[in-house]
Amino acid sequence: MSRTHSRLFRALGAFGLAAAAAAFLAACGGGGGGSSGASAGGGTQLAANQATVTVGRGVEGVANIPTVSVTICAPGTTACQTVDNIQVDTESFGLRLASTAASQVLGSLPKETVAGNPLAECTAFADGFTWGSIRTADVKIGGKTAASLPIQIIGDMSQGAVLTGSCSSGALELTPADLGANGILGVGVATSDCGTLCANPPAGNSSYYACPNGANCAQTLVPIAQQVTNPVAKFAGDNNGVILSMPGIAPSGQATVSGTLTFGLNTQANNALPGTVAKLSTNPFGDVNATFNGSAITAFFDSGSNAYFFSDNTLPNCTGNASSFYCPPSAVTRPVTVANYNGTTPGAAGGLQLSMAVGNASQLLANGNYALNDLAGNLGGSSFVDLGMPFFYGRTVYYGLDQSSSGGSGPFVAF
């Protein structure tokens, strides 16, 4: 099963960068995007297994939202549309597109069915949930293609059909304005977004719905092959992991910054995993063991969260619309220790200590920059640390897909 459905921690909020009136937005924000043939921030021509990742103003002017461009085609055809401003999310799994952003090709994408009934999904995140049909598309990112990929189309179905489970409450996010982006590209360590939880009884655990005539939806079991699938796992090659590399930025941030998303690990010269990196095994969601403020917790490395998120009652919160973020009078740091995931032994004794920079969010969010490496938010007592997008600046982070079901290696993160 995936974090998306059982652990609502993918992203906990994004904040607009307007000095006069910043609005608290859903945590899947927008930026700019690139595609095959583009150049990375340093001007280097990209290879076929790479795509440009850009943090910028994007769809809604939200800080720290890394995005790419994705081309969607009707399977086996040249009926295609390129959609920009798709958020790169290393802690969810699969592609989700707002229906209005993919309107040129939407009518050509076949719907997935179960027992003859159209299939839909309610995908729960920390800041709300998405709802829409499951369709099949050829998905191109950079020079790589995932053929006949199950994806979610957000906002193309009746809202009144979702009445149960995690989708019975919380904010319904159906449009680019709701999402802060045109879609979400989940390239985390899992290969499908729900796995056996949605494939095996009871159906009440499933996030998928069978919808006769597009209405009267009821939870249903779905074979893994029909679930929303991590596109990397369906590439013909370079399909065992991803690398997200971003340049370093100053504490005051930058208006825009570009990095690179590289597909595959140890499959080409440009995706070798150095022996000098810290490599941590994770659970199927991407969690690692951690210790923070003397407590044993879990942590994860999440480009889909626009800030560091943790609970620390020694740090003052901001006021007004920024009240979910920290506003210390001067910049501080907070340490967190991480180690290989171990479900039976909590904490990270003898692990690797990382430092999280915490600036004054009200000041940062008013300075006109969209890439910020010291933005941090308050989790309100939750027992985990979310190493969000600020962690990635000045780093190259490697994600190994979970291949244990086929006798391969288990999931990991390295940096």
Main-chain dihedrals φ then ψ at residue 290, nearest 5 degrees: -155, 160
% helix, strand, coil for the chain, step of 5: 15, 40, 50
Length of the chain: 415
Under a CB-based contact definition with an 8 Å cutoff, are residues 206 and 227 in contact?
no
Residue 124: in which H helix or E strand, if any? strand 117-125
CB atoms within 10 A of CB 345: 12
Q: Which amino acid is at 337?
A: T
Helix, strand or coil, per DSSP, at residue 143: coil
CA atoms of 311 and 377, how far apart (whole Å): 8
Q: Which of 386, 319, 316, 256 is nearest to 24 (CA)?
A: 319
For position 30, what pLDDT does the model report?
29
What's the pLDDT at 48? Answer: 96
Could you tell me if 343 and 393 are in contact, meaning their C-beta atoms sit under 8 angstroms apart? Answer: no
164 is written with which tokens?
């149960």
Q: Which pLDDT belongs to residue 40? A: 56
Structure tokens at 59: 């769809």
Residue ranges of the chain whose pLDDT lies below 50: 1-38
Instruction: Give the pLDDT score at 45.
Output: 87
Look up the pTM and report it: 0.90
Among 95, 285, 286, which Cα is nearest to 195's?
285
Nearest-angstrom CA–CA distance, 336 and 312: 12
Q: Residue 394: what pLDDT?
A: 98
Distance of CA 335 to the CA centre of its chain: 24
Which residues are paired to 80 by β-bridges?
A: 73
And the tokens for 89?
């999310």
195 alpha carbon, distance to own chain's centre: 17
Best CA proximity match to 377, nearest among 177, 126, 175 = 126
Give dist(CA 260, CA 267) in Å, integer: 17
Tokens representing 25? 């937005």
Calculate the alpha carbon distances from 343 to 190, 296, 346, 391 in Å. Answer: 17, 12, 7, 24
Q: Quote the pLDDT of residue 39.
A: 53
Q: Is the dihedral of CA 309, 313, 314, 318 positive or negative?
A: positive
Task: Compute the distance between CA of residue 185 and CA of residue 229 in angstroms, rounded to an integer.
Answer: 10
**39 C-beta neighbours (distance < 10 Å), count:** 13
Which domains, and CATH codes, for the chain? 3-234 (no CATH), 272-414 (2.40.70)
pLDDT for res 195? 92
